[in-house]
Structure 1
Amino acid sequence: METDRDELARRRAKYATGLLWHVGAFVIINVFFWVLDLALGPPGATWAFWVTGFWGLGLAFHLLAFLIDGRQVEDRLTRKYEQRQDR
């Protein structure tokens, strides 16, 4: 039982680290894109908006996956279906 808890903790830590790297890259690169867009682009041309928007959508899905995994939805559903099969 303790090994399951250790494995879950390791998995959550790995997901959290991956999410933090994703957030860090998102912030740093998008700040660079916005500065570049505002400095070099003609007025009104905000291509960085689209990059930030679509990447933000991907980041939102990454966050959602992290939150769903934290609730162990897959493990609970597996146990639920196993119980149904045992009946």
Structure 2
Amino acid sequence: MDTQMYALAIPTLIALWGMTRGEAGLLGTTVLIMASPGGWIAGILADRYGRVLFVIGLLPTLLVLWIRRHIKTALVFAQTRGANTADRPSI
């Protein structure tokens, strides 16, 4: 299933990011190769601590990554609207 998803996503990545076909192939190969050790590590941790506890432990990490991405987006959006430190009165 992962292979099918990458086959569908690669033309979009080439168009959006201006990648060459070689770069897109390298990206797909790297992701698929790294998915194997990631699956092994996740499986070992889930077997040792339980799947529910593993997923609950994974949620804070994903939440931090999600917040980090959206804070960057919000800051870029604020800058494009003209917000900067010069607009604030000095204390």
Question: What is the TM-score normalised by the length of structure 2?
Answer: 0.39
Larger relative CO (CA 8 A, sep 6+): 1 or 2?
1
Question: What is the TM-score normalised by the length of structure 1?
Answer: 0.40
